[in-house]
Chain A
Amino acid sequence: MPVFFSLIQRDIRLAWRNRLDVSIGLVFFVVVAALFPLAIKPSPELLEQIGVAVIMVCGLLANLLTLNRLFEEDWADGSLLQLLLLPIPNALMVLAKMIAYCLTIGLPLSLVSLLLHTQYQLEPGLMWPIFAAIVLMMGILSALGALSSALTLGLRQAGLLMSLLHLPLCAPVLIFASRAVYSSAENGFAEWWLLGALLLGSWFFIPVAAAAALRLAVE
């Protein structure tokens, strides 16, 4: 257990040391989301309609951009092999990395969505639903990203392959997250429950699969 928390602390410290790399995702999120009003006419009604969708998609892409922080750096300098040889189950090691990733990348990206909510002049009442939906989405994306990056670790064109693998898996998450913002008591907040189920399910099953993929990668 202390090893588990040491791992999380390690990843957070490394993310802080490399905060310039980490903030690339944040800047990308803001810049791309800012491009949409430029490309189409910046009328408030139109922005209000597409606002939520744009925030979700840009959040997804920003997450994709920073997925290499999960395993690739550790794989490149040989630390991943040592992490796989720690006296804890490999799935637990992956879980620790996912938690650290959520805290250092998922959470800041979620906070940036509040900024974009203002930029798109969306209804004030939507602010917390958007934040909550993005937080859940980032959590699920961390898990899916762990699987995709573990599977494509060390391959040539890893970035492209990972995107091809990752984005289709993220489609359901994207759909539920953007619908959840408008979800109401009429349909029993169905999308929120589905997001919660996806979060729990992915965090339960994916660490084991990702650990197996990592062992293949270091062979």
Chain B
Amino acid sequence: MSPAALSVDNFSLMRGQLLLCHQWQMRLQAGQCVHLAGANGCGKTSFFQAVTGLLQPEQGDVYWHGQALAKAGNAVRRQWHYCTHDNALKEALSVTENALLAARLCGVSVTDNFLEEALQEMQLFFLADTPVLQLSQGQKRRASLLRLKLVPRPVWLLDEPFNALDEAGRHQLAHWMNRHCEKGGSVLFTSHFAWPGHLKVNHQVVFGKPGGEA
């Protein structure tokens, strides 16, 4: 059996004096879309940070495709996209420039057609050359999600991606998530609100509680 795209074993995480989870276990297999549930402040964002190596867990290991994160080199960072609450967009640059910059920093070159397709799908085509400063919150969120399509990566870690998106935007993002999982990628996302009906969520994992196995 091939190793899980992402798995944590015996995982304990602390934030200051607060114990967020204790000897927790979770698997995310390829082709799965998993919802990470939990109350506000329970540590979902901290979990994402620990899993990407930005926060050290008290105990336990994180495995990316079978490779331990602690021992992996820098190349393991090509395994995921981590989309946070912030949009990570440079306000002085336009939507196109931000998208191309993100792709270039990931070492990927994007053809004009592909970029146009992505912009069309996210309904940003008419805003392609607008500085991000002038966009609305929802449009900025759409612009920040462009990199999901432009740079192929196996695992998507999405922290409340549906925030600020309108009906059409949520529909499109759900469509992208479905397509990503169909092609063998995996998605781990959080959301406090109901997601679009056509989004295929394999199962839900409650952060910190047992039952995180696939």
Contact = CB atoms under 8 A, between A and B. Distances in A.
Main secondary structure on A side of the interface with B = helix
Interface in A9-61: 10, 13-14, 17-18
A219 B74 contact: no
B82 interface: yes
B54 A218 contact: yes
Nearest to B87: A78
A84 B53 CA distance: 10
Given A79-B90, A81-B86, A82-B88, A215 B54 contact: yes
A86 interface: yes
A219 B93 contact: no
A86 B105 contact: yes
Contacts of A17: 92-93
A8 B101 CA distance: 12
Main secondary structure on B side of the interface with A = loop
A81 B89 CA distance: 12
A2 interface: yes
Interface string B77-99: 11000101111111111000000
A81 to B, nearest CB: 6
B52 interface: yes
A58 B88 CA distance: 34
> For chain B, which range describes its interface: under 10, 10 to 19, 20 to 34, or 35 or more residues?
20 to 34
Contact of A87 (B52, B77, B101): B77
Contacts of B105: 3, 6-7, 10, 82-83, 86
B104 A6 contact: yes
B74 A89 contact: yes
A3 B52 CA distance: 19
A14 B107 contact: no
Interface of A: 2-3, 6-7, 10, 13-14, 17-18, 77-79, 81-89, 215, 218-219
25 contacts: A2-B104, A3-B106, A10-B101, A14-B92, A14-B93, A17-B92, A77-B86, A77-B87, A77-B89, A77-B91, A78-B84, A78-B87, A79-B89, A81-B54, A81-B84, A82-B88, A83-B105, A84-B54, A85-B53, A86-B74, A86-B105, A87-B106, A88-B74, A215-B54, A219-B49
